């Protein structure tokens, strides 16, 4: 698997503040502080994967095919939206450097530890109409989604703060990390976080 490079000169993006907090949260001598709620990364028994789709529906733009495989003996439930965040990386030489993120939950608490905990999204109050994805024990679920269904999927490498001269090739990592509001219990709710591997994206159009 390609190793993601978390830091680059003059890194800017939609979640620069969050990335800075994460970078300072761990990986150093002494006690580690974890600002905000967090969850461990799921084991390899639960696999989250995705692939790019050129056009989900005519005129609605690009989208993605998502798959969650549950190789455990218990069903799992995930609070929608899934994924809860997206993270884009640009190719610079033979490295992939972080450029932008959107959504909530799924960023590493320690930005240099790719097997560590993830920041989790935790609403302050319960939703009046919650929706969940249920994956049966030893089963899998597949679905398609685009930015019209989930704003976290909007293609951020085109944003004003994510453009760097000479960068055209991008990949994305989709993530999910959620905790229910304090005091609420949801049966079979997934208590760990998920991240996909790097997913191929179309090249950014070159400026003529």
CA distance 72 to 191: 13
What residues form DSSP beta bridges with 47?
69
3-state SS, one letter per residue, for 118-130: EECECCCCCCCCC
Label residue 4 by pLDDT band (50, 70, 90).
Answer: low
- Is the per-residue pLDDT at 31 higher than 70? no
CA-angle at 53, arms to 82 and 95, nearest 5°: 80
* pLDDT exceeds 50 at position 29: no
- What is the average pLDDT across 2-17? 41
Output the pLDDT for position 207. Answer: 56
What whole-number distance in Å separates Cα of residue 135 and Cα of residue 128? 22
Q: In the predicted model, is pLDDT for residue 25 greater than 70?
A: no
Running DSSP on this structure, what letter comes out for residue 19? H
């Amino acid at each position: 698997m390609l190793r993601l490079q978390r830091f680059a000169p003059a890194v800017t993006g939609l979640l620069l503040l969050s990335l800075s907090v994460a970078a300072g949260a761990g990986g150093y001598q002494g006690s580690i502080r974890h600002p905000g709620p967090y969850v461990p990364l799921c084991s390899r028994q639960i696999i989250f994967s995705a692939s790019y789709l050129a056009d989900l529906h005519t005129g609605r733009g690009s989208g993605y095919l998502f798959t969650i495989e549950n190789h455990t003996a218990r069903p799992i439930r995930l609070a929608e939206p899934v994924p809860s965040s997206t993270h884009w990386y640009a190719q610079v030489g033979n490295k992939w450097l972080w450029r932008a993120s959107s959504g909530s939950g799924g960023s590493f608490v320690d930005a240099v530890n790719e097997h560590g905990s993830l920041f989790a999204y935790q609403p302050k109050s319960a939703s009046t109409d919650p929706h969940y994805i249920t994956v049966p024990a030893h089963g899998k679920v597949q679905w398609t989604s685009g930015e019209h269904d989930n704003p976290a999927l909007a293609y951020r490498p085109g944003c004003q703060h994510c453009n760097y001269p000479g960068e055209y090739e991008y990949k994305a990592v989709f993530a999910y990390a959620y905790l229910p509001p304090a005091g609420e219990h949801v049966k079979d709710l997934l208590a760990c976080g998920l991240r996909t591997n790097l997913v191929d994206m179309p090249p950014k159009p070159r400026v003529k």
